Amino acid sequence: MERRLYDAAAKGDVTSLLDLLKEDPLILDRCMVWSCDETPLHVAAMLGHEEFVEEILERKPELAGELDSRKLSPLHLVTAKGYLGVVKKLLNINANMCYTRDKYGRNPLHIAAVKGRIDVLEELVQESPNAARHKMEHGETILHLCVKHNNLEALKLLLETIGDHEFINLKNDDGNTILHLAAADKQTESLDASDHRSVQTINFLMSRTTVEVNSLNQNGQAIDDLLNQSWKKSVKKQYDWLERKKSALMVVASLTATMAFQVGVNPPGGFWQDTIQGTNPHNAGNSIMADNYPVGYSIFLATNTIGFLASLSIILLLVSGLPLKHRFFMWIMMVILWIAITSIAYTYCLSITTFTPTHDTESFYSTIQLGIYAWAGLMVMLLVGHTIQLRACLMIHNIKKLVTQRRSSASLVMHHDDV
């Protein structure tokens, strides 16, 4: 019968539950004695079976307070899954479960912050705002969790709801505030597209909250110290990457330059072998493509020259000995490389038009059009990604300026108070 009860909970089968209660009216009481781990309410709540949960709670509301072997309540589990309807039903029965901690010291609000369940977190905070102030192991607050897991929306919600000055500036056991974590974490080391959001977190804390910029952690580090460390790590990482890729870039640039040169001095279609005057005049040594496709040849010559010069520019930059540590120079180099490769690809498309039979023209142009769309999409994605990286660097620079301004303002206020 116990197995049947858990099967019904897993399926959310209310009819089976009612049949079991007819057979044994004490079955829910017995499961509280049997179970050394999850109760049927844990199972049904975790799977989001709202009607089943409601039926159990009407008959045995005490199950809402039962914990499994990891000290997780049904509210912990349903919060992690984000089933708002089930959360509301559990809160109506026993809102005090918001304060229940699992074996890691996390209450349901902490779980919601980690998982980014914004609607659930909002409901829990409205019901039990004081539960959000509970610290976990290592002295971390729910705000520390939001920063560590890069959940900016959850952080904004909490700060708008209970973001008083003291709460914002609470430290963990290492003396780190949420601003220390945001600056010191790996979020600012690589500065890829996903890390741009983390830089936004720092910018939000600096510009929209009363977080203290002069606060020191146990290592005596302030926010600007950690930002400088992260920035240096980022620059070193990118410089190391460039050093490792220099030979590859040189090979690619040399190859594209060679291809562009060969196509330039040996245009598709070849050269006229003789000189003819009359209705179709041409001179020996002139390009056949230039006479037969004058417009296409002009475009071909322009794109091939662009690719050739772009490739030579990369080679020149790599052998020039200039310091290329700055991300802006790396961004420029990548753009030049894209231009070179794109020019070579376009030159190829123009070249094969000269010897494509007329009856295959339609299928040829369809294939070329599809290839251009795919190539353009890839180039746009790469350009956007690198532009986001560049913007993230600029944002960190602006954050440093904001830190300096905030420190200057704080110093002026302290001087005024002393006077």
Residue range 190-199, pLDDT digits in tens? 444 445 566 7
Average pLDDT over residues 113-140: 94
Is the pLDDT at 45 greater than 90? The verdict is: yes
Going 251 to 254 to 255 to 256, the CA torsion angle's sign is positive
User: Cα separations (Å) of 211 from 54, 153, 225, 380, 392?
Assistant: 43, 17, 16, 38, 21
Q: How far apart are CA 314 and CA 257, in angstroms?
A: 10
pLDDT value at position 200?
78
Domains of the chain: 1-134 (1.25.40.20), 233-412 (no CATH)
pLDDT value at position 264?
85
The upper half-sphere exposure of residue 191, i.e. CA atoms within 13 Å in the direction of its Cβ, equals 26
Q: How far apart are CA 178 and CA 156, in angstroms?
A: 13
Comparing 197 with 313, which gets the higher pLDDT?
313
Q: How far apart are CA 379 and CA 373, in angstroms?
A: 10
DSSP category for residue 132: G
pLDDT value at position 51?
96
Predicted confidence band of residue 309 (pLDDT cuts 50, 70, 90) = very high
pLDDT value at position 228?
67
Is the pLDDT at 280 greater than 60? The verdict is: yes
pLDDT value at position 402?
66
Find the range with the poorest average confidence among 40-49, 61-70, 109-118, 259-268. Answer: 259-268
Spatial neighbors of 317 by CB under 8 A, at least 6 apart, are 324, 333, 336
* % residues pLDDT > 70 (the chain): 80
pLDDT value at position 21?
93
Q: How far apart are CA 191 and CA 231, in angstroms?
A: 9
Name the residue among 16, 75, 21 with its Cα closest to residue 45.
Answer: 75
